[in-house]
Amino acid sequence: MTGVFAAATAAIVVCMGLTLIRSIVGPTVFDRILAVNSFGTKTVLLIALIGYLSGRPDFLDLALVYALMNFIGTIAAMKFTRFGDLAGMEDEESEELY
Protein backbone atom coordinates (compact mmCIF):
# COMPACT_ATOMS: atom_id res chain seq x y z
CA MET A 1 0.00 0.00 0.00
CA THR A 2 2.89 2.36 0.76
CA GLY A 3 4.09 1.87 -2.82
CA VAL A 4 0.79 3.18 -4.16
CA PHE A 5 0.95 6.23 -1.91
CA ALA A 6 4.57 6.84 -2.96
CA ALA A 7 3.66 6.63 -6.65
CA ALA A 8 0.73 9.02 -6.12
CA THR A 9 3.01 11.45 -4.25
CA ALA A 10 5.53 11.36 -7.12
CA ALA A 11 2.74 12.04 -9.63
CA ILE A 12 1.45 14.97 -7.56
CA VAL A 13 4.96 16.43 -7.30
CA VAL A 14 5.37 16.20 -11.10
CA CYS A 15 1.99 17.95 -11.50
CA MET A 16 3.17 20.68 -9.11
CA GLY A 17 6.21 21.21 -11.33
CA LEU A 18 4.05 21.52 -14.45
CA THR A 19 1.71 24.02 -12.74
CA LEU A 20 4.73 25.98 -11.57
CA ILE A 21 6.00 26.26 -15.16
CA ARG A 22 2.57 27.50 -16.29
CA SER A 23 2.45 30.12 -13.53
CA ILE A 24 5.91 31.44 -14.47
CA VAL A 25 5.48 31.30 -18.28
CA GLY A 26 1.71 31.86 -18.49
CA PRO A 27 1.07 34.79 -20.80
CA THR A 28 -2.25 36.07 -19.39
CA VAL A 29 -3.41 36.96 -15.88
CA PHE A 30 -5.98 34.16 -15.90
CA ASP A 31 -3.38 31.49 -16.68
CA ARG A 32 -1.58 32.54 -13.54
CA ILE A 33 -4.68 32.69 -11.33
CA LEU A 34 -5.65 29.23 -12.55
CA ALA A 35 -2.09 28.00 -11.93
CA VAL A 36 -2.12 29.29 -8.34
CA ASN A 37 -5.53 27.75 -7.74
CA SER A 38 -4.52 24.35 -9.05
CA PHE A 39 -1.19 24.58 -7.21
CA GLY A 40 -3.20 25.02 -4.01
CA THR A 41 -5.23 21.93 -4.89
CA LYS A 42 -2.00 20.00 -5.44
CA THR A 43 -0.78 21.18 -2.03
CA VAL A 44 -3.97 19.85 -0.42
CA LEU A 45 -3.49 16.48 -2.13
CA LEU A 46 0.21 16.38 -1.21
CA ILE A 47 -0.54 17.05 2.47
CA ALA A 48 -3.18 14.32 2.51
CA LEU A 49 -0.83 11.83 0.80
CA ILE A 50 2.08 12.68 3.11
CA GLY A 51 -0.21 12.14 6.08
CA TYR A 52 -0.88 8.59 4.89
CA LEU A 53 2.77 8.02 3.86
CA SER A 54 4.03 8.87 7.35
CA GLY A 55 1.23 6.83 8.93
CA ARG A 56 -0.65 9.74 10.53
CA PRO A 57 -3.83 10.55 8.59
CA ASP A 58 -4.74 13.31 11.14
CA PHE A 59 -3.37 15.81 8.61
CA LEU A 60 -6.52 15.24 6.60
CA ASP A 61 -8.57 17.98 8.32
CA LEU A 62 -5.71 20.41 7.76
CA ALA A 63 -5.84 19.55 4.06
CA LEU A 64 -9.59 20.26 4.05
CA VAL A 65 -9.06 23.71 5.62
CA TYR A 66 -6.40 24.41 2.97
CA ALA A 67 -8.92 23.59 0.27
CA LEU A 68 -11.40 26.10 1.76
CA MET A 69 -8.74 28.79 2.04
CA ASN A 70 -7.55 28.15 -1.51
CA PHE A 71 -11.09 28.68 -2.78
CA ILE A 72 -11.49 31.97 -0.86
CA GLY A 73 -8.10 33.19 -2.10
CA THR A 74 -8.99 32.49 -5.73
CA ILE A 75 -12.33 34.28 -5.38
CA ALA A 76 -10.51 37.29 -3.88
CA ALA A 77 -7.96 37.37 -6.73
CA MET A 78 -10.74 37.14 -9.32
CA LYS A 79 -12.67 39.98 -7.69
CA PHE A 80 -9.55 42.10 -7.70
CA THR A 81 -8.91 41.58 -11.40
CA ARG A 82 -12.56 42.44 -12.12
CA PHE A 83 -13.36 45.31 -9.75
CA GLY A 84 -10.04 46.55 -8.34
CA ASP A 85 -11.12 46.06 -4.71
CA LEU A 86 -12.87 43.53 -2.52
CA ALA A 87 -16.10 45.46 -1.95
CA GLY A 88 -17.02 45.89 -5.62
CA MET A 89 -20.18 43.99 -6.41
CA GLU A 90 -22.35 46.39 -8.38
CA ASP A 91 -22.11 47.46 -12.00
CA GLU A 92 -19.95 50.51 -12.60
CA GLU A 93 -19.01 52.51 -15.66
CA SER A 94 -15.29 52.37 -14.96
CA GLU A 95 -15.21 48.59 -14.60
CA GLU A 96 -12.93 46.82 -17.07
CA LEU A 97 -11.25 43.51 -17.69
CA TYR A 98 -7.48 43.51 -18.04
The residue from 4, 11, 54, 57 that contacts other proteins (CB under 8 A) is: 54
Site for other proteins in 57-76 (CB under 8 A): 59, 62, 65-66, 69-70, 72-73, 76
Nearer to other proteins, 33 or 97 (CB): 33
Q: Minimum Å distance from CB 83 to other proteins? A: 9
Distance (Å) of CA 32 to CA 1, 21, 27, 35, 89: 35, 10, 8, 5, 23
> What's 53's DSSP letter?
H
